[in-house]
Each structure stands twice: as C-alpha cells, then as structure tokens.
Chains A and B, each alone.
Chain A
Amino acid sequence: MEASATTVTGGRSVLERSPIGRLPDRVLKWGLSALAALILILIVYFFIRLIGQSGHVFSTYGLNFVFGNNWDVQANIYHGGALLFGTIVTSVIALILGVPVAVAGAIYINELCPRRLRNPLTILVDLLAAVPSVVYGLWGVFVLAPRLLPAEKWFASTFSFIPWIGGGIPQLYNYFIAGLILAIMILPIVSAISREVIATVPSEHKEAALALGATRWEMIRMAVLPYSRPGITGGAMLGMGRAVGETIAVVLVIGSAPKIGTHLFAQGYTLAAVIANEFGEATGIHTSALFAAGLVLFVLTLIVNMIARWFITRGSHGTRGTGATGMTIASGPANEK
C-alpha cells in the first residue's frame, strides 16, 4: 500500500471519513441509545414515585394493608385484603373458564380443522382482542349480568352443598360475572400463544405417533400436549397477568363491595377497580391508600408476568424469546403473522 496515494492532508486515509462526516453516525447512535435509556429511567422513576406516594400507608398499616380485611372509607381505615382476594379470585375464575376453551380452540385450529377454515377461525378468535374493555363492560352490565342471574340462582341452590360455590343468594354483579368477562377477554391471548407453541411441535413427533397406530386424539395427547405444555402454561399465566390488571370491564360488574365475599356469586372488589372507582372523591390518606393498592397491583402483575415469561422461554425450545411470541406478547394476538 502506498501511503502517499491513500492519504490526504492531515495523515488521514482517504477511506476514512472526515470528523464532520462521522458526526451524524455518532449523533444517531447516541440519540437512539438515549431513547432506550429513557425507557429504563421512566420505569424506575415511576416505581420510586409510586413507593414515595404510598410509603405513608405502609408505615401506618404495615402488612395489614395487603392482607387485613377492613376497607372502611368512612372510618378512614384501609386494610385491602378483600381487594387482593377479589383480584385473585376473579383471575382464577377467568383461568378456569377461559384456558380450557382457548387451548381446545388452539389445538382444533392447528391439528384438526380443515385448512380452508384455519385462517378465518384464527381471525375470528383474534377479533376478541380488538374489542375495547369498556365495551365488554357495557355488554356485561346490560346483557350478561341480567341474563345470567336466573341461571346463577338455579346453580347456587342446586349445588348449595359445595362450599363457597353454592348456597348464597346471587347478586346481579358478582365475582363470577367479573371472572366470566375476564375469561372472554383473555381468550385471544391464551389462544394465540397456545397456537404458536403448538405450531412448533416437530412434525416428526406427530408422524411418529400416527405411524405407531395412534388415533388423532392419542397423537395430540402423547405428542402435541407434552411438547407444548410449558408454553401453554406460560400463555395462561400471561392471560392471568392481563386479568389481574384489567380495570374498566371489572369495575362495572364486580359490585364494588370491599369485603371478602362469602360465595361465588357475592359482590366483591378488585385492586384495579377500587382505584378507578374511589379515585374521584379520595383525599389525604385515602389517596395514598389507592396509590398503595396500585403498588400492590404492580408488584402482583410483575410476579405473574415473570412466571409466565419463565415458562414461555422454557417452552420455546431454544429459539430466542424475541421472536414471534415476543411480538404476540407485546401487541396482542391480532398481530400474529
């Protein structure tokens, strides 16, 4: 290499950019890094502010705020155990009702249904994710709750021997209705994740099962389900994360009674619902209590989502977690390609 031919004044190679020419690249790189750092700062800042706003409540009530059962606005006592109870009960109802249906649908669409029906069915199930939560609330208040009340009454009196399930007098708005609405709302996400996971089952496994004489169902039970179980569990947990944090649909049909319900069809309350409902008229320590409820909710969703992610990465069999599943997690199933 003849140095004289490839250098310009200043001892810089002609292949090298001038300092000014390099500037836009640096600006771009550091600008984008700053944007990315902004995300981290925002979340950490939020967490600190939230703790700051609710610290007062925790120093007053301690763990009683989370587990104690006495939420009395008149007496200015805020023990939110009933809220945590309602949040968990409604989400568990949603899982019990929603997950089997979602998984059955996913298996049917992937393994049994005629090829021509596959796309339309997928789109229809995904459409549920596009309905805004306030519309679910509207439908729940005017259609679902009043129409199901007679059935709930029959159920509660027929199965009155089962503890907590039957025996009580069903209210118009109750844990069950809230859980049912949540079940419908988490259907698309659980179904989408399950479909994705089931699609990754190697066809060799399925063909091997069939070649050994298994029927279709036996193939599903012995090849498809064991392989996709962790992923499906993760999808269900992700659905639970959604259910825990859902606010508007739940606040309309939960009944807004801050006590631990004595039966399935009793009125209750959830963490998110109490924040949305009591926020308008709250002052002083009541406001802090609502912020603290927010903090409990935040931590609860973090835990549920962390478990979900653990299951999904374990179930994705070595593929990177940022693939299509990551996209579905982020943007909901309508985004699936």
Chain B
Amino acid sequence: MNILLRLAGLAGIGLLTACTPPQGPGEINDPFETRNREVHEANKKLDRNIVRPSSQRYGRAVPKPMRQGIENFSDNLALPGMVVNDVLQLRLDDAIWNSGRFLFNSTIGLAGIMDPAGDIGITERSTDFGETLHVWGFNEGAYLELPVLGPSTERDAVGKVVDFALNPVGRVLGWPEGGVKTAADVAARVGDRYDHTELIDSILYESADSYAQARLLYLQNRRFELGDQEEPDYYDPYEDPYGE
C-alpha cells in the first residue's frame, strides 16, 4: 500500500514538471474550473448533510478543554512528519525546533494532550510535503478542489499523497495505536469545523460565489504560508482603482 502510494506520488511529481507554466503573484490558474466546481458542489453537499451536523453534535457534546486535548494530541503526532519535511527542505533550525516541541509535549505534555511548549512560545512551525516541493522548485500548478479534502493545487495534492504515504508516526505505532491517531485526526478536523462554524458557513453558504471565495482564500493563504519574498506584491488601488 505504502509503496503504491509512494509511486503515485512520484508519478505525480513527474506530472507536475510537465504541466502548467509558472504563475505570477496574485494570479489564478484554474484550467479545470468546470470539474472543480462540480467537486465543490459535492463537497458542499457533504458538508451540509454530514460534516456540519456532525461537528455541531460533537462540539456541543464534548467540552472545549477535551476537544482541545484531542486536537493537541493529533497536532503533536503530526510533528515527526513535519520534521522529515524540514530536513528535506534543509531547514535544520525548523527541524530542531519542531523536534524539541515534540519531545517536550510528548513527555511533560502528557503524550501531547497538553501544550506546555506552546505556552513558552515554542509553537508549531507548520510544514508539509507540498512546501518541500515548493522549496525544491516545483511550480504551484493548477488549482484543484479535491473531493472531501477541499481546496488544493496540483503541487499540494501530490504533497498530501506523499505526506500520507510517509506517515512516520503511523508506521511506528502500527495497529491499533495507529487507529487511535487516525480517530484523533478526524475528531480534530471535525472540531475545527465546529470552532470555525461562522467563518466556514459564511464562505460556503453566504457568499455569492462560494467556489471563487474558497479558491481565492486558499491560494492567498497558501502563498502567504510558503512566501519567502521580502516584499509581497501589494496591489495599489490608488494607482489602479479599477483593478485592470
């Protein structure tokens, strides 16, 4: 299974180099818009019928401190995968930082349920294989909305597959402990949906074009996360009031 996924990941990397030219800042490259919009409608239906109602039940039934503990636990077990990516990106300071956070919270933080490292300022330096591909010089590729997982790009979709295949913690844990991790991951995401109910509802159900809003939000935020540019490409409305 893992080998298959890894091969799929590598095949994906091959695809990435082949398609879609580099993008200027602020540009949106969405050649698969028709298909993406279909997936978006399916994702919305899934959210409306299953994810949102489940998150409401979960959020009301489980008190915040317990949900926070589950989220901390899930986030903590994501750290080793991030450290692998830090190393692949040759960002050794981040590798040490995230390792330190992992060791601290896994022990003093009671297997990661608490976050004493965060309390003293050692917060997560988030990364993933999508970022590793970015550091290695791969272009963002086309925008994609993935079934269930939502907004992504060609590069980030490949990154997700590789991160899933890499999964160093799941490999060490095996069964059934790995299942506990997966359950915590799902609960953490459902908890996120509950904690950000209003924001996500406003994007999905209140905006005039939820697909375009989700796409813009994802691309801007992702480029910001990855951005190593000193001066962002700020748009000046006084120079160009009509945005032409």
**Is B a genuine binding partner of A?**
no
Interface residues of B (CB under 8 A from A): none
